[in-house]
A and B are shown apart, each in its own frame.
Chain A
Amino acid sequence: MSAVPISWYLTLSAVIFALGVAGFLFRHNIITVFMSIELMLNAVNLSFVTFSYQLKQVNGHLFTFFVMVVAAAEAAVGLAIILTVFKNRSTLNIDDIDSMKN
């Protein structure tokens, strides 16, 4: 009993992804919504690394690397957008940011 079934890793990834979806759908604070997206990206990264182990290939690590780079760029731009929105509207609640609707 010294080996972990590969399905446990994938199940853990699915659980974290579902929690990220829950945060994305149920939260009202724009920063927390953004952090939920990061949570989902991390869950997908775990799947990539697990499949990389299973297939004994390094390609999954490369995909994870690219996901990390894109997530870092996305965080920089997204947080700049949040800063601009807060400067103009003084709110972080996503229900109050509805200028595209009216």
Chain B
Amino acid sequence: MDVILFLIFAIIAVVSAINVVVQTHPISSAVSLIGVMGSLAVLYLLLGAEFIAAAQVIVYAGAVMVLFIFVILLLNAGAETKRGRSFMVQLLGVPLLIALLGLLVFFVDRLFPRSVTVHFGGFSGGSAQAVGRALFTTYLLPFEVTSILILIAILGAIVLARKELD
């Protein structure tokens, strides 16, 4: 059952991720990205990360992607115009990426033997209670710094969107 669920949502995630990259219209990319985030939320649930799965749906698939789609609609962004890329990019880009991916998979396969497995319910420390306890004890200082970061980001966004820069 775990394997079936993993395979279904992994395939949805990979197909949606490919769709993000190959679609020429940004709104299609954005909708595909929501698909990636939704299927990743299910994988988080399979890994026992309940709070992170909820936060993924609310923060990423909810807030961030709504912001993206709002900006795409606001700018009335059309399909990307095709234009010639340099010869080197066409020749080397995809093989180099596949080499990077192959290296990553090779090392992952070496470092983690097949006997190390994930099964649903094997880790129950990802509840909101456990995450909250760690967040307000061990990680209290980073949490407070994060609030300042968000304040600065809000101010920056307001200043950027309001003033005419040249």
Chain A residues near B (Cβ < 8 Å): 1-12, 14-23, 25-29, 31-32, 34-36, 38-39, 42, 45-46, 49-50, 52-54, 56-59, 61-62, 64-66, 68-77, 79-84, 86-88, 92-93, 95
Contacts and interface: CB of A to CB of B under 8 A. Distances in A.
Contacts of B131: 58, 61-62, 65
5 contacts: A2-B1, A9-B47, A29-B26, A31-B75, A36-B20
Interface residues of B, number: 85
B157 A80 contact: yes
Contacts of B139: 62, 66
A79 B26 CA distance: 14
Interface of B: 1-3, 6, 10, 13-14, 17-18, 20-21, 26, 29-30, 33, 36-37, 40, 43-44, 46-49, 51-52, 55-56, 59-60, 63-64, 67-68, 71-72, 74-75, 77, 80-81, 83, 85, 89, 93-94, 97, 100-101, 104-105, 108-109, 112-114, 116-119, 122-123, 125-126, 130-131, 134-135, 138-139, 142, 146, 149-150, 152-154, 156-158, 160-161, 164-166
